[in-house]
Amino acid sequence: MKRKVAIIGSGNIGTDLMIKVMRTSSVLEMGVFVGIDPESDGLARAKRIGVATTHEGIEGLLNHPLWPEIEVIFDATSAKAHVYNYNKIKAYPGKITVDLTPAAIGPYLVPPVNFHELKDVPNVNMVTCGGQATIPMVAAVNRVAKVHYGEIVASISSKSAGPGTRANIDEFTETTAQAIEKVGGADKGKAIIILNPAEPPLVMRDTVFTLSEMADQDAIRESVSQMVKEVQQYVPGYELHQEVQFDIISADKPVFIDGLGYRHGLKTTIMLKVKGAGHYLPEYAGNLDIMTSAALATAERMIQQQEKGAQA
């Protein structure tokens, strides 16, 4: 039996997630689609395809007849709004909240890296689009050689950056940098986002730089390749843009890293591109697609874990 979900946020991310739940999930089904603008395109689309809606935000959801049946809540609003929303939701134990904002009330979760540690947590945070794309790569290097420093540059089409993304730029960089450390395993993390105005729009591209202890380069290549395959299980458009590149930073010519001092070792450069599935958004909006895909995969796995536990 499929489990009912609610999606809070009727913008691009929320609408794409709704379409994914309906088209692709064998575990979840739509319950209520929640917004605050009765004229929004997302709410109008939900109504046309027969999904229950409310334009009264979290209060409308809590008062909706389907609320008792809702087992998973996806929050695709903003960092500030999620704090308000979750203060209401947490009064109802037993419900899973998957946070797609940079609020990070709950721990950061990147499915192929640390799901096994957080499968029973009631509120998990999906970091950011850049984090979902790049942290698996930092972790892939770190499981071969200790990563001292991880830096990511996420380049997304300007057309795929809506008001919510633009309003949360500072939170994006801070949250992603913290997750590079806490989830990716780097001693120090840094994140940069670039809004690319190119026409026609380009798909999401990410560059990951790590400085680690010296290690076998083939072992790192293999670890990266395996991690790419794991991400592709829920984001088919995720792939290496070029072969993994290496540079040796010698002990007599170390680099200075703010907060760490001088470091030497192996520099690894990983270049990625992420093409969206095109369910609701254009294929170039891979930054939004990887967030909704990761959130959906997380919720599905959590429900499946619950079912396994109940059967044991």
pLDDT class for 312, splitting at 50, 70, 90?
A: low
Does position 37 have pLDDT exceeding 70, yes or no?
A: yes
Helices and strands of the chain, counted as H and E runs: 10, 14
**Mean pLDDT to the nearest integer, 52-67:** 98
What are the backbone angles phi and psi of residue 149, rounded to the nearest 5°?
-140, 135
Domain identity same for 96 and 184: no
118 shares a domain with 186: no
* 235 plus 183 within the same structural domain: yes
Q: What is the pLDDT of residues 268-282, one digit of tens each?
A: 999 999 999 999 989
Whole-structure pTM value: 0.94
CATH classification at residue 40:
3.40.50.720
Q: Are residues 143 and 218 in the same domain?
A: yes
Residue 65 buriedness (CB in 10 A; 0-12 / 13-18 / 19+): exposed
Contacts of 298 (CB under 8 A, 6+ apart): 98, 109, 111, 115, 124, 126
Residues 107 and 136 in one domain: no
Is the same domain home to 162 and 236? Answer: yes
Query: Are 279 and 170 members of one domain?
Result: yes
Question: Quick check: 309 pLDDT over 80?
Answer: no
Q: How confident is the model at residue 169 (pLDDT cuts 50, 70, 90)?
A: confident
3-state helix, strand, coil in the chain (%, to 5): 40, 25, 35
The DSSP-derived string for 11-60 is SHHHHHHHHHHHHH-SSEEEEEEE-S-TT-HHHHHHHHTT-EEESSHHHH
Are 135 and 149 within one domain? yes
Question: How many folded domains does the chain comprise?
Answer: 2
Residue 163: which pLDDT band, with cuts at 50, 70 and 90?
A: confident
Question: What range defines the domain where residue 85 resides?
Answer: 3-126+290-311
Both 294 and 279 in one domain: the answer is no
Q: What's the whole-number mean pLDDT along residues 134-145? A: 98
Instruction: For residue 258, list its beta bridge partners.
Output: none
Q: Is 129 labeled as catalytic in the residue annotation? A: yes
- Residue 113 and residue 137 in one domain: no
Q: What is the reported pLDDT for 119?
A: 85
Residues 42/76, Cβ–Cβ less than 8 Å: no
Q: How far apart are CA 145 and CA 213, in angstroms?
A: 6
140 and 74 part of one domain: no
User: Average pLDDT over the chain, rounded to whole?
Assistant: 95
Residue 310 pLDDT more than 80? Answer: no
Average pLDDT over residues 214-235: 98
Write down the pLDDT at residue 79.
85
As a three-state string, the secondary structure of 249-305 is ECCCCCEEECCCEEECEEEEEEEEEECCCCCCCCCCCHHHHHHHHHHHHHHHHHHHH
Q: Are residues 114 and 9 in the same domain?
A: yes
Range of lowest pLDDT (29-38, 120-129, 167-176): 167-176
**Catalytic one among 61, 62, 129, 272?**
129
CATH code of the domain in which 222 resides: 3.30.360.10
Residue 80 structure tokens: 């500030």
pLDDT at 162: 74
CB-count burial class (<10 Å; 0-12, 13-18, 19+) for 117: exposed
